[in-house]
Each structure stands twice: as structure tokens, then as C-alpha cells.
Chains A and B, each alone.
Chain A
């Protein structure tokens, strides 16, 4: 079974631009969560989607948004990029909600200059 895939793997953007990251979960997994990882703040939860609905959201500004498609693939978007948005963005999928391990993708390394 193929793992979680994320595209692109690396991205360089300029402050003020917007970016869209993509995540394809493991086949059969319906829950997709997004996380931001930085050296200073560690791994932080962004949001979680299940059956095309956002069920949980972390403490991030509205510039961070996402969506999930009917095939469970998910995208996240960051508008008006700031230097502090430079991070590793990780997507994780799991079978259902609650008490299931999450399977992480390799991440997208975003650098904002």
C-alpha cells in the first residue's frame, strides 16, 4: 500500500504570495490532518478533515485554510505569506476519527523569503 504523498516537496515563495500544498492519503483513509513543524514551536496542529468537512482547527490565523475532496485528497492554502510561515508542513492520514494512529507524509519544506 502506498504511503501518504505530499507535493511539492520543496517550495520557495516570496513574502506576500500565496501557496497551495497537496496531500494524498493512504488508500482507504478518510481523515487527513495537517501540521506545521518549526524549530522554535515544534509540531503544531493546523486542521483536520474528514469526509470533506473540517472537524477540528488549531490556533492559526485565517490565512491558513484547507479543503478535502471526495477522494480524501486534501489541500492546504496559505495566503499573504509571512517570513514566519517558513516551516515543514506535514500531512497525516488515518482510518477514522479518534484513537487511531496517524501516518505522516514526508512533508513540504516551505521557505518564505
Chain B
């Protein structure tokens, strides 16, 4: 069966450190993968999109990698801040038609 898995346990890190979140998928061949941030009671906010022919993408303190062989994406936040505390969701679109399938999300807590 098709699955998108993220670490369901919260990730606690110290301010200033690099946070690394993992997204693994099975039985998908996505053309691209997206990462979103969600704060409690709010809708997800788009962060980064990476295509299958891109190994790495960066935006300010964010970096995403996409390994189609391992079927895994890693999401990094460098120099993390307490304001980065949120749930981070990975999503892929099996049919490239705006029907995103989301992972369960990983809650990140950055402690000052």
C-alpha cells in the first residue's frame, strides 16, 4: 500500500542547532514533493517544493533534499529559533493534479 511516513514523535532541539526532519514514502513515484508548516488552529503554509530531478533546494535557513532512490526527503532548518516551533508536513501529489497526500507531520519544538 502507499504510505508517506514522518516521525510522529516530537523533535526537541536547542535554539541555534540544526533541525532535520525526515519524510519517507513507499509505492509512490512523485514528480515533486512539498513541505508545509502548520501552526495550531491554522492552515498549512507552503515552504518549499522540490522536483524529482533536483537533489537539493534551499530557501534562507531551509534546505530540502530529495532522494528518489531511497524514497526519502530530508528537511533541514539551520540556526533554529523558538519561532520555528510548529508541525512540519511533507506532501506529494501522486497524479500531479493538486491532490496532495500528506504525511502525518512532525512537531518541532525549539527551546531557547
Residues on A lying within 8 angstroms of B by beta carbon are: 4, 31, 33, 35, 42-45, 48, 50, 55-56, 58, 90, 92, 94, 97-107
Residues in B neighbouring A44, C-beta threshold 8 A: 102
Instruction: Known A-B contacts: A42-B102, A97-B98. Give 6 more (CB < 8 A).
Output: A43-B91, A45-B100, A98-B93, A99-B96, A102-B34, A102-B98
Residues in A neighbouring B44, C-beta threshold 8 A: 43, 90, 104
Task: Check B31 for interface membership: any CB of A closer than 8 A.
Answer: yes
> Whole-angstrom distance between the alpha carbons of A34 and B110 in the complex?
31
Closest Cβ neighbor of B51 among chain A residues: A99
Kindly identify, within residues 11 to 28 of chain B, every residue whose CB is under 8 Å from any CB belonging to chain A: none
Residues in B neighbouring A100, C-beta threshold 8 A: 98
In this complex, how many residues of chain B approach chain A with their Cβ under 8 Å: the count is 26
Q: Are B45 and A48 in touch, CB under 8 angstroms?
A: no
Residues in A neighbouring B103, C-beta threshold 8 A: 42
Q: Are B97 and A42 in touch, CB under 8 angstroms?
A: no
Q: Are A58 and B104 in touch, CB under 8 angstroms?
A: no
Cβ of A40 to closest chain B Cβ, rounded Å: 10
Cβ of B104 to closest chain A Cβ, rounded Å: 5
Contact of A107 among B34, B43, B93 (CB under 8 A): B43
Describe A's contact surface by its main secondary structure: strand
Cβ of A22 to closest chain B Cβ, rounded Å: 15
Cβ of A108 to closest chain B Cβ, rounded Å: 10
> Whole-angstrom distance between the alpha carbons of A104 and B36 in the complex?
10
Closest Cβ neighbor of A46 among chain B residues: B99
Residues in A neighbouring B34, C-beta threshold 8 A: 101-102
Cβ of B73 to closest chain A Cβ, rounded Å: 15
> Whole-angstrom distance between the alpha carbons of A45 and B97 in the complex?
12
Q: Are B98 and A94 in touch, CB under 8 angstroms?
A: yes
Contact with A along B75-112 (1 / 0, CB 8 A): 00000000000000101010111111111110000000
Q: Are B97 and A103 in touch, CB under 8 angstroms?
A: no
Cβ of B21 to closest chain A Cβ, rounded Å: 15
